[in-house]
Amino acid sequence: MKKTVTRLADGRELIYYDTRDGTPRTAADPRPLAPVASRSEIRLDELTGDHVAVASHRQTRTHLPPADACPLCPARPGHESEIPGDGYEVAVFENRFPALSGGTGRCEVVCFTDDHTASFADLTEERARLVLDAWTDRTADLSALPGVEQVYCFENRGREIGVTLPHAHGQVYALPYTTPRTALTLRRLDEHRRATGRNLFDDVVARERADGARMVLETDDWAAFVPYAARWPYEVHLHPLRRVPDLTALDGAARTALPQVYLELLRRFDRIFGPAEPPTPYIAAWHQAPVADARREEFGLHLELFTVRRASGKLKFLAGTESGMGAFMNDVRPEDAARRIREVAEA
Could you please report the per-residue DSSP string of 255-305?
A: HHHHHHHHHHHHHHHHHTT-TTSPPPPEEEEEE---SS-TTGGG---EEEE
111 annotated among ligand-binding-site residues: no
167 annotated among ligand-binding-site residues: yes
Go through 112-130 and write b for each residue having 16 or more CB atoms within 10 A of its CB, e for each that does not.
bbbeeeebbbbbeeebbbb
DSSP-assigned beta bridge partners for residue 296: none
The gap from C-alpha 39 to its chain's centroid, in whole angstroms, comes to 23
CA–CA separation, 5 and 57 (whole Å)? 27
CA–CA separation, 209 and 283 (whole Å)? 24
287 annotated among ligand-binding-site residues: no
> What count of other Cβ atoms lies within 10 Å of the Cβ of residue 322?
14
Catalytic hit among 169, 237, 239, 302:
169
Q: Is 169 a catalytic residue?
A: yes
How far, CA to CA in Å, does 113 sit from each of 78, 87, 110, 196, 234?
Answer: 21, 9, 9, 46, 26
DSSP-assigned beta bridge partners for residue 303: 238, 286
Known binding-site residues for Zn(2+) equal 70, 73, 116, 167
Active-site residue set: 169
Annotated binding site: 70, 73, 116, 167
